Structure 1
Amino acid sequence: MTFQLDPRLHNDCFKLAESSHSLWLLLNNSYFPWMIIVPKTQHQELYLLSGQEQTQLQTEINLISEFVNNNFECAKLNVACIGNIVKQMHVHIIARTESDPCWPGVVWGSDFKQAYAIRDVFKIQAELKQFCEDKNINDLQFASPQ
């Protein structure tokens, strides 16, 4: 079966990078630095991934978490794999600050939404690309955010 990104994720996010294992997305809401990893799997639940797939996903979660923590104001990282609405497996990595409009509550379903200026998306993608180069991660494809 061919991997296809859920239309809601496609419509709500910018694709920053892609590997043979996953897509790395940026949610189009500048209120919160919010990245999403979408493993290329048909499974909806983490426990159904093989041990190797789980290890790969955890490695990517750690990388994106480090990137978000280092490149955005961040008092606390929120990392979650919920999928009640979008059933396709995906992991949210969100930088939270005490000054964000939802603090200390949850961001899920928030009415606080502000689209990114495309120049800011390109800047974030360039920073992510440099971060990956510095870590010698060379198996990602970076294309125009879409």
Structure 2
Amino acid sequence: MSVKLHPQLQADTYTLGQICDCTLLLHKNALIPWFILVPDTNENEIFKLTANHQAQINNATNQLAHFVESHFKTDKLNIATIGNIVAQLHIHIIGRFTDDFCWPAPVWGQADFAEYKEQDLLSIKQTLIDNKLIFI
């Protein structure tokens, strides 16, 4: 990635690899499968990108959404580009369960937190590699 990650994204996530022209991050809260795509751009809104770049990001988002839904057996997906606190363009792909720690409320700003075990983190990364979703 030629664009530097916002410090808040660096602090809150693990870097998993690249998908299309996006960096794929995993939020550090293991209570929920929460992935973040960060397109390689200085623009902060998707509509400001070329149609080709938008299509690449949409493709990466869809690939990751399918992975999250099938791998984690989620009840619902939340996909959002809010950016009120972190203006850098990033897309949240969050797997939700009707019995998760904050259902049906948003995951943002919740105090509940659990660290990933190193083996679980490595397993998620390896599964993404095996499914040819990311490269390192």
> Does TM, scored on the shorter chain, surpass 0.5?
yes
CA separation in 2, counterparts of 1:115 and 1:73? Answer: 20
CA-to-aligned-CA distance 1:27-50 (integer Å, 9 cap, x gap): 001111000000010000111011
Structure 1 unaligned spans of 5+: none
Alignment identity in percent? 36
Task: Find the counterpart in structure 1 of residue 47 from structure 2.
Answer: 47
> Within 5 A, what are the aligned runs for 1:29-44?
29-44=29-44
Secondary structure of the 2:3 match is coil
**TM-score, length basis structure 2:** 0.94
Please state how far the C-alpha of 1:108 moved relative to its aligned partner. 1.2
Superposed, which structure 2 residues align to 1:98-109 within 5 Å?
Answer: 98-109=98-109
Q: Which runs of 5+ in 2 are unaligned?
A: none
Q: Which residue of 2 aligns with 1:81?
A: 81
Deviation track 1:41-96 (CA, whole Å, cap 9, x = no partner) reads 00001110110010000000000001101111300000000011111000000000
The code of the aligned residue for 1:66 comes to H
1:11 maps to a residue whose letter is A
* 1:60 alignment partner, SS class: helix
Task: Specify the SS of the correspondent of 1:78.
Answer: strand
Residues 1:3 and 2:23 aligned together: no
Q: Which amino acid aligns with 1:79?
A: I
Give the alignment partner of residue 135 of structure 2, picking from 127, 141, 144. Answer: 141
Does 2:113 align with 1:116? no
Shift of residue 141 of structure 1? 2.7
In 2, Cα distance between equivalents of 1:73 and 1:29 = 18
CA contact (8 A) 2:37 2:61 kept: yes
CA offsets, 1:124-143, max 9 Å, x none? 001111112xxxx6xx432x
Alignment-mate amino acid for residue 38 of structure 1: V
The residue that corresponds to 2:131 in the other structure is 131
Q: Separation in 1 of the partners of 2:44 and 2:127? A: 30
User: 1:48, 1:10 → 2: CA distance?
Assistant: 24
Structure 2 distance, partners of 1:80, 1:20, is: 18
- Aligned pair count? 135
Contact kept? 2:29, 2:116, Cα under 8 Å: yes
Determine the structure 1 residue equivalent to 2:23.
23
